[in-house]
Structure 1
């Protein structure tokens, strides 16, 4: 068995769903696409994209000694239909990936174990990355044959659908490289049509400034009032473009129990969430990726959802936040009340 084949077998044994290998210089078009994205301002408030464009656009520049990039996929497919929460206006819709443990911690530990196995087996050096480093995981994963970037810009796989996390191991070892993935979106535009805020200017392009995942997680301060109605009851992230992808008919069940949704995070009542203070927020979302956005931004999202609920029963929850210590929360409370009273 070759080293690459043995590594693939070990990756599956560790709990990963798929593995592919590519070269650090396999995505030469990425730098130009990223530069255009930033030049057009589509990155919004994510200044770190502009600050580290050199590394992000060229994996070989991030670590010149690397000779191979190992891309790993880890499935987190939901057991339920995430779109059902959208139809419950008095409850909050939370993105599937955030309804339990923070995937950064789970995936990184698995990557480190696999990396240690590789070093013990063949020597060399490694660096592992999960989402937070200046690494363009999706183009690299496509180059490594794990799938292709769909029209919603997320990775799609014939074998896994599109519910999976990506992790990377850069290594100084020369491994066998896989053939890149082939685009199989065809004429389908289900993901483009599903977006509530029109975040896709064209197929294979996204404007983060209109994306609900960006608006509810990365964007600080008030959200553009024109976009608030499109948020609906989505209070952390958005799954619409992922959920409608026809390739999900091939999705497999998640093997990691820590990705199974917590009962209290499946369509939680908006009134309860609006009442959270900082201590209550931290306690409720301990170990969750939701914790990183902080109480104020989260309650802001909840108040937008209350304003979109059309339910006079929630007016009291919004009214209680009119004297909140945070300016943005107070603004969201006023907006919610104006919607409900109208």
Structure 2
């Protein structure tokens, strides 16, 4: 039996199964990520992970798959495109235009549909089941942005893309509008070939970042990143960053919207990532009016739900304050005053800040 040939055939079969399960691409990476360790430790030492203590808690396990999951010999990597099926040509310009309408609430494109953790996990598990049915029981563990895994490093080593200057994985035929997932396996599989970088001298993502969180090529200070501030950060948003957040209430897509490669971004084949009512084109006032019960109902099965109603109101209050900085609006002010005595001190403080931004008529 030719073991090498059998392993190569298995990878081809896994890639075919992946396509059937709506993955856009399947690769295989090795487990030696030692070259990424110095950069990881320098980033953590500088405190760029902010409140995300879990990143530091796992230390170098993030860069050592075989320590994270003992017995791991290879990592199967997966890409899943997420643009909604109804996405039209010129979608980048359409999304950028939203930022010029201060009273519109802007939610990151990826979060407007079903929680990607659920979608990818279920399909990665289905892929693992198919492998087991084909070769018999084997050791594995599925990851979907759910543990200390260097996802972009693994993706770039396995040909899923290269690390863009905004630190996200980039693919010449798919841009960066995709999710990543992994299966750590105790199988020795041949690695798929990495691809070369194609950012060149372009610095569009660095230049456009509203808070200058991209401090250099392939380096992001999460403490300044709007995605971090609106999703991961639980406390008060730093005062100096609030005016820079504009009307972005959950995540930020700016660095992806200006990336030339995203003109090739692919639409998902799944209905899971279609936009939910209310998460695209709604006004700040509409979303600020959601009670906690309505928030939970409207975000059931959504990635947004995990930030909770308090952070939801905090984020929208900042956006409302920024709208008032542009133009005084009695309706916005009344909506804010309705939450001025909210039980949460975080909400009260951000509402007070927002009201203080009102421009004199």
TM-score (norm 2): 0.92
Residue among 22, 41, 45 paired with 2:47:
41
Instruction: Report the alpha carbon displacement of residue 121 of structure 1 after superposing the two structures with TM.
Output: 1.0
- Please give the residue correspondences for 1:1-342 in structure 2 after superposition, counting only pairs within 5 Å: 2-25=9-32, 27-78=33-84, 79=87, 80=91, 81-123=94-136, 124-310=138-324, 311=327, 312=329, 313-342=331-360
Provide, for residues 183-216 of structure 1, a one-character-per-residue CA deviation record: whole Å limited to 9, x for no partner: 1100001111110000011111000000000000
The 2-side partners of 1:103 and 1:85 are apart by: 23
The SS at the match of 1:265 is coil
Contact kept? 2:65, 2:184, Cα under 8 Å: no
Compute the RMSD of aligned alpha carbons.
Answer: 1.3
Instruction: Report the alpha carbon displacement of residue 285 of structure 1 after superposing the two structures with TM.
Output: 1.1
The 2-side partners of 1:45 and 1:267 are apart by: 30
Instruction: Report the alpha carbon displacement of residue 84 of structure 1 after superposing the two structures with TM.
Output: 2.7
Worse-matched range after superposition: 61-70 or 294-303: 61-70
After superposing on structure 2, the runs of 4+ consecutive aligned residues of structure 1 that deviate more than 6 Å are none
Instruction: Report the alpha carbon displacement of residue 341 of structure 1 after superposing the two structures with TM.
Output: 4.3
The SS at the match of 1:132 is coil
Contact kept? 1:88, 1:267, Cα under 8 Å: no
Runs of 5+ in structure 1 lacking a partner? none
The 1-side partners of 2:358 and 2:292 are apart by: 26
Contact kept? 1:150, 1:156, Cα under 8 Å: yes
Runs of 5+ in structure 2 lacking a partner? 1-7
